[in-house]
Chains A and B, each alone.
Chain A
């Protein structure tokens, strides 16, 4: 089971990130998790939202380039070792992590780790076999 993540290309000009968040706010889009990857030349805003296609359309209409990829949303207990145990399973399977970010649940006992692996299919298989919970996100 995987989750859809949108990646918004941000030109290296100030205000771009603010512009995106303003547009999303205006259209009532809630961001569940986000990460900004920065290079010297540009940035990429990665977001997990509920209304995937709507969000993509809205951003495109405003001139943004938006890509969509599957990521794994791994649920762990919000305590030390949560991340390490998942990474150990991945390491042993010889899979590489392209990037990751995380968010904590409101009730404080669990956290969700968002991963993009170099081999998504195998990663999902390996994690499920290890009894690791892959969450869905309510997405349209």
Chain B
């Protein structure tokens, strides 16, 4: 038996041998069982036998969110649905969510993966893990929960919201580890200050923050206000959920990718050519071990770079730099992925509005707010005020239903919103991270 410490410190030759064997098995299985992948591979003229080295990964076609949308909901699964014990969903680009699935073995493996991530931050049996990530279709809450339980820690499944109660629980139960988005962590810090609770009254030692981008400045703010070490975690549901990469305590530069499970690449965002290690580009992942929903060369649209220099923790797992931006227009609002095209999808289905809208994002008191301005039709301008108010309410509730985000809605007169010559500037993001 090889223990986890040994696995994470293998020389590259060993790790790459593991990766190649797993990659070959993955490609063969997916080619046999998933018609859409087989079709794409046939079109690209690639057969499973053509994968003989890790660089042969580049022969395989990419997968994007569009492929998931085209095969909604379960078309890319490798097993019959009675073997799928869990599904999760995250935002799609239009009206349908992105759906992922897990077998019992996948759930157990995910728990091990998350347990390893938590261990990198020093979490262990005996810790009181305060899980403020949202529980539900979002992979964050349950993903972190199962990992903490696998580690043998005590899990408090608070989920999001009700900040005052969360502070009371932290103080009374003695939470030692905080799992929350970075902005929610700061929101909790503000709530604490309002309640007159000092960080010294709490037993919090470390925070593990992800699901949205955050800067080094924000990290220092979280550490200072909560009196904890704050580390970065990364993941996405299409690959597994949280647990794709994790910062160790020994360094605060870069997150170790769990490379025995997820093969990372960086490609040029325009040409899609693989880039040499150290260069910035689009992050692409291939899952090596997932059963129900494996994914080949998934283009994340996140921008990062790979750090190959050895880490002081001794782990040889490659690190990825904090994600610094996206190649598309996706926003993350209070930890929820939002595509402007989803707002457009809602608006197009409502009578009385024109397809001219603008989204403004702000951060007030550490909580993201989204306001949508949309032009009404000339006809509606002549109607009584109640009609327009009813419409405002309708738009707000349909956006909430589809996106899962509550936003402000403002109806404006026709021709108010600036037209643009080329690509429409739909989003104004005033947040400074």
Contacts and interface: CB of A to CB of B under 8 A. Distances in A.
23 contacts: A9-B10, A9-B11, A9-B13, A11-B13, A11-B14, A37-B1, A37-B2, A39-B18, A41-B14, A41-B18, A42-B10, A42-B14, A42-B18, A44-B2, A44-B6, A65-B11, A67-B9, A94-B125, A98-B1, A99-B1, A116-B3, A118-B3, A119-B125
Contacts, number: 41
Contacts of B314: 67
Interface residues of A, number: 19
B6 A7 contact: yes
A69 interface: yes
A7 B124 CA distance: 24
B164 interface: no
Interface of A: 7, 9, 11-12, 37, 39-42, 44, 65, 67, 69, 94, 98-99, 116, 118-119
A99 B3 contact: yes
A37 B10 CA distance: 13
Contact of B3 (A40, A42, A65, A98): A98
Nearest to B314: A67
Contacts of B152: 94
Interface string B3-24: 1011001110110011001000
B316 to A, nearest CB: 9
Contacts of B9: 67
Contact of B14 (A9, A69, A94): A9
Nearest to B13: A11
Contacts of A94: 125, 152
Question: Which A-B residue pairs are the 4 nearest by beta carbons?
Answer: A41-B17, A98-B3, A65-B11, A42-B14
B153 to A, nearest CB: 13
A9 B5 CA distance: 13
Contacts of B13: 9, 11, 42
Nearest to B151: A118
A130 B10 CA distance: 35
B25 to A, nearest CB: 11
A41 B1 contact: no
Contacts of B18: 39, 41-42
